[in-house]
Amino acid sequence: MNDDHFDGLVNDATHAVTNLIPDTVLDGLRDRERSDLLFQINDALTPILRDVIDRTDTDNPTRASTVAALISELLETHAQKCDEGGDCEDDRPPHVISEIHGTSANIDSIASCDMETGTQIYLVLDDRTSFRITVEAIAA
């Protein structure tokens, strides 16, 4: 399913959901509030429908979000293994080590965000540094 078809599906679903809301509720809203409601419904339906389409579209290649999830899971698994290593807390290696630069740090948090061009992974370390890793599909 291409992006135009998907956008049409989301818009149709948004209007179908909106049609289920009683007129007495919609009549009590100002124009701006009605518009905001449409956007909120659209935003709520988009990831749900995207997930359904992705699971049922057999011709769908691997997405950037899937690769970003893999990278995040690898980082989380690595951090967990470091946290479980050694006999005591002082024996555990840091999550990130650079012998060349003489630095080390632990991962405080990992988050990801889907963007129009791919997925971004946000990595925050306990040494007050943070990084944004961008995962983009370059060929399908």
Domain assignment of residue 7, yes or no? yes
Domain assignment of residue 121, yes or no? yes
128: left (phi over 0), alpha (psi -120 to 50) or beta: left
Per-position pLDDT tens, the chain of length 140: 667 777 888 888 888 888 888 888 888 888 888 888 888 998 888 888 887 777 666 666 778 888 889 999 999 999 999 988 877 878 888 989 888 888 899 999 999 888 878 889 999 999 989 999 999 888 65
Domain co-membership, 73 together with 131: yes
Identify the domain containing residue 17 by its residue range: 3-56
Asked if 136 contacts 64 with a C-beta cutoff of 8 angstroms, the reply is yes
34-70 per-position pLDDT tens digit: 888 888 998 888 888 887 777 666 666 778 888 889 9
Domain co-membership, 48 together with 72: no
Domain co-membership, 23 together with 77: no
Query: Facing residues of 110 across strands?
Result: 123
The total of structural domains in the chain comes to 2
Domain co-membership, 50 together with 72: no
Q: Is 12 helix (H, G, I), strand (E, B) or coil?
A: helix
pLDDT at 107: 93
Domain assignment of residue 140, yes or no? no
Last residue of a domain, one of 37, 56, 75: 56
